Structure 1
Amino acid sequence: MNLDTLLAKRIRSLRKNRGYALETLAELSGVSRSMISLIERAETSATATVLGKLADALGVSLASLFSEDTAASPPSPLATAEQQPLWQDPASGYLRRQLSPAGYGSPLELAEVTFPPGQTVTFDNAMRTIVSHQQIWMLAGEMDISIDGQAWHLQPGDCLAMTLGQQIIFHNPTASSARYLIALTATPSSTGRQ
């Protein structure tokens, strides 16, 4: 199964499990009904920004959108390299590899990102339904990361711990690709939607 098909099934399943009509998810996420419909039919590749909005409206972490529904079979504690989903953002070209085993139930999720030179991705959330704690460990290259207006410049070996805010901007200011590891945990917000 390709990743667009996996994302389509996962988003549709989460939406239906919450009892949301397409219009409801559109209203909660700020993503148009027609775009959600195209994504759920795997007729378009959603950008990282759109996936972030949908994840927030569905009350899940962005990383969980890349996990298969494992209700049919027990989850394995091992995710071999060939089992790890690799997704490319169609807008910026950044590559995200979901490292953690799908559905295993660990409170910690790991992902590896390769971020192209000169690219920027902005995640805006009007209302976070989950509290996401992340740490980013730079493996290669450099990144500028800004959260709610506070900015940091990361170089190889640097590690930035953060609680995601209303806006986060990832920018590679160099002429070379950057590579980093993301470790994250997510818990429901006490002020988020039910």
Structure 2
Amino acid sequence: MDINKLIASRVLALRDRRGLSLTALAERSGVSRSNISLIERGESSATATVLDKLAGALGVTLAALFEAEEGEPVPSPLQRAAGQPVWTDPASGYVRRQLSPSVRSPLQLVEVVFPPGQRVSYEQVVREADVHQQVWLLEGVMDISAGGQQWRLEAGDCLAIREDQHISYFNPGEQAARYLVGLVTLPFA
């Protein structure tokens, strides 16, 4: 399935499930009604920042927008490399590969290739679950800030952060950075 069509169907299904109109989702997310409509029709490739705003307003993680919809045939527990959804952020050019199978699991693995000199920031959003992530840098260098703290990661370094705060990713290097993100979603106690 085309990645924009997958995102389109997930955003629409999540909005319908929550009983939100386009206008209500626009108000909750800060994304224009017309932009959401284009995304839901698969006619727009939204930026990472826009998708994060929509995910937050829908009460899910960004990774949830790349999963198969509930009610589809039971997915295989195996996700072959050729079938892993790949999405490119049109603003920064970072490439996101969903490594994990579409089975419902609290753990999601994502590979990211982040171009040099690029930055992506995610706002603090209220989610329906507690989301933890670990970033394991495989190649290159990345500056990551979360809340009031900042770290420079080099190849082999691993950083654990929560998604309940403003997070910014920046590649200050001259080559692409490649890293693995492990996301764990826990229900609030």
Q: Which range, TM-score by smaller chain?
A: over 0.9
Q: Supply the distance in 2 between the matched residues of 1:129 and 1:54 (Cα, whole angstroms).
A: 13
Tell me how large the CA RMSD over aligned residues is: 1.3
TM-score when scaled to structure 2? 0.95
Q: Supply the distance in 1 between the matched residues of 2:165 and 2:97 (Cα, whole angstroms).
A: 24
Change in Cα spacing, 1:59 to 1:181, as seen in structure 2 (3 Å) is same
- Offset of residue 43 of structure 1: 1.3
- Conserved? CA contact 1:53–1:125, under 8 Å: no
1:21: which partner in 2? 21
Q: Supply the distance in 1 between the matched residues of 2:72 and 2:53 (Cα, whole angstroms).
A: 28
1:93: which partner in 2? 93
Which ranges in structure 1 are unaligned for 5 or more consecutive residues?
none
2:72: which partner in 1? 72
1:50: which partner in 2? 50
- Offset of residue 81 of structure 1: 0.3
Q: Map 1:1-150; keep pairs closer than 5 Å.
A: 1-102=1-102, 104-150=103-149
- Offset of residue 132 of structure 1: 1.2
TM-score when scaled to structure 1? 0.93
- Conserved? CA contact 1:122–1:168, under 8 Å: yes
Change in Cα spacing, 1:134 to 1:169, as seen in structure 2 (3 Å) is same
- Conserved? CA contact 1:8–1:41, under 8 Å: yes
Change in Cα spacing, 1:189 to 1:50, as seen in structure 2 (3 Å) is farther
- Conserved? CA contact 2:60–2:127, under 8 Å: no
Q: Supply the distance in 1 between the matched residues of 2:64 and 2:126 (Cα, whole angstroms).
A: 18
CA distances 1:73-120 after superposition (whole Å, capped 9, x unpaired): 112110000110000000000000000001x12211000000000000
Which ranges in structure 2 are unaligned for 5 or more consecutive residues?
none
- Offset of residue 127 of structure 1: 3.3
Q: Supply the distance in 2 between the matched residues of 1:171 and 1:189 (Cα, whole angstroms).
A: 30
2:54 match: secondary structure: helix
2:174 match: secondary structure: coil
Change in Cα spacing, 1:187 to 1:28, as seen in structure 2 (3 Å) is farther
Give aligned-pair identity as a percent.
56
- Offset of residue 72 of structure 1: 2.7
- Conserved? CA contact 2:142–2:172, under 8 Å: yes
Q: Supply the distance in 2 between the matched residues of 1:95 and 1:157 (Cα, whole angstroms).
A: 20
Q: Map 1:157-168; keep pairs closer than 5 Å.
A: 157-168=156-167
Q: Supply the distance in 1 between the matched residues of 2:188 and 2:170 (Cα, whole angstroms).
A: 27
Change in Cα spacing, 1:189 to 1:24, as seen in structure 2 (3 Å) is farther
Q: Supply the distance in 1 between the matched residues of 2:51 and 2:188 (Cα, whole angstroms).
A: 19
2:183: which partner in 1? 184
Equivalent residues, number: 189
Which deviates the most, 121-130 or 164-173? Answer: 121-130
CA distances 1:141-180 after superposition (whole Å, capped 9, x unpaired): 0000000121000001000011123310000001100000
Q: Supply the distance in 2 between the matched residues of 1:47 and 1:189 (Cα, whole angstroms).
A: 28
- Offset of residue 65 of structure 1: 0.5
Letter in 2 for 1:99: L
